[in-house]
Amino acid sequence: MKPEETNEMLIISSSPHAHSGASVSRIMLDVLIALVPAFAAACWFFRWDAVRLVGTCVATCLAVEWVCRKMMRRENTLGDFSAAVTGVLLAFNLPATLPTWMAVAGSVFAIAIAKQVFGGLGYNPFNPALAGRAFMLFSFTGAMTTWTHATWMGKVYHVAADALTEATTQATPLGLLKSGLKGAADFPQYDLSMLSDFLLGTNLNGCLGETSAVALLIGAAYLLARKVISWHIPVAYLLTVFVYAAILKAVSPGTAIHPLFHLLSGGLFLGAFFMATDMVTSPITKGGMLVFGVGCGIITMVIRTSKTGAYPEGVSFAILIMNALTPLINRATRNRVFGTGKKAAARK
């Protein structure tokens, strides 16, 4: 008997067969939404300069992305919002006084060199925003380490803010720590009464997006709630920094600051939640994520507390170094294929 004909067809495809409904554009849009509190804080603290730098970086990144895709004769990718995310994150890693043309140069490098040269989103081995910042730090060292006036240093040295020298009033919390470690200045006396300044970012100075820890935590909570990121990398990163700083404080109380100030100063929260968790440049396994976070934490603290080092902050370099190790971490921590032995999995 002839089988009954049907219009239904079986579609054969590779895994995965279930889709979460998430897309690149939706994920990137969630990241932009999560960055809104930090942007609002930057506008409050730095006024026009925050708008100027964020606008410049985003516009340049979008323009360079369009030009690169056009030159490579590939589809336009402006709609996935990844270039906009790179622009905002790069701007958040810049001092408020940076000239506009330098922000343009850094944005061009971030998109054209750190991203599109490798083939675009999904193929870049390094976080584009951090690569752009590293390029600018090496190329425009003076401008990238010039900070706005801040009055909180008076609390550190227990003197009136207007009595401090110009060099001191323009230092960041980590900059003061590095100067103290080198003996170039008095060791900063951070006490727990100053925690509110570090949490809220009031009267502090630094890069646009790193001053207010509370604003960054609000954005991080949104990303975790939306399941855009997982807890593994940020928790491993922050916990490693805290434990490392606690050990230093216990061993050498006179030349170490409280672990909470290490957590709340510099770009640690910005890096841990918004850049180390980049799905393209970070490990894909849970074990690999933990290794990645621990590695970032150790490298960050080594750079911060090195007496001979030139840079007071190590977040950017730590993440970039671990980006380079991501393929090795993925290989070492990948799950064993069902039905195969450990030796067979290792040979693959």
Is residue 64 within 8 A of residue 107, CB to CB? The reply is yes
Query: Which range, of 56-65, 254-263, 270-279, 284-293, averages the lowest pLDDT?
Result: 254-263
Q: What is the pLDDT of residues 297-314, one digit of tens each?
A: 999 999 988 888 778 888
Distance CA 173, CA 198 (A): 9
Residue 275 has pLDDT above 50, yes or no: yes
Q: Tokens 């997006």 identify what position? A: 209
Distance CA 202, CA 111 (A): 33
Q: Tokens 């942007």 identify what position? A: 39
What's the pTM value of the predicted model, to 2 decimals? 0.85
Rounded mean pLDDT, 140-156 = 69
Closest by CA position to 102, among listed 65, 130, 139:
139
Distance CA 272, CA 314 (A): 12
Q: What is the pLDDT of residues 54-97, one digit of tens each?
A: 999 999 999 999 999 989 888 888 888 999 999 999 999 999 88
Q: What pLDDT, on a 0 to 100 scale, did the predictor assign at position 252? A: 84
Model confidence at 169, in pLDDT bands (50, 70, 90)?
Answer: very low
Model confidence at 158, in pLDDT bands (50, 70, 90)?
Answer: very low
Percent of the chain at pLDDT > 90 equals: 49
Task: Kindly report the average pLDDT of the chain as a whole number.
Answer: 83
* Dihedrals phi, psi of 116, to nearest 5 degrees: -75, -30
* Type of residue found at 339: G
Annotate 155-168 with DSSP letters as a single string: HHHTS-GGGS-HHH
Q: What pLDDT, on a 0 to 100 scale, did the predictor assign at position 230? A: 94
The alpha carbon dihedral of 303, 84, 232, 219 has a sign of positive
Alpha carbon separation from 173 to 69, 97, 140, 170 (Å, rounded): 41, 18, 21, 10
Distance CA 241, CA 260 (A): 10
Model confidence at 141, in pLDDT bands (50, 70, 90)?
Answer: confident
Q: What pLDDT, on a 0 to 100 scale, did the predictor assign at position 6? A: 57
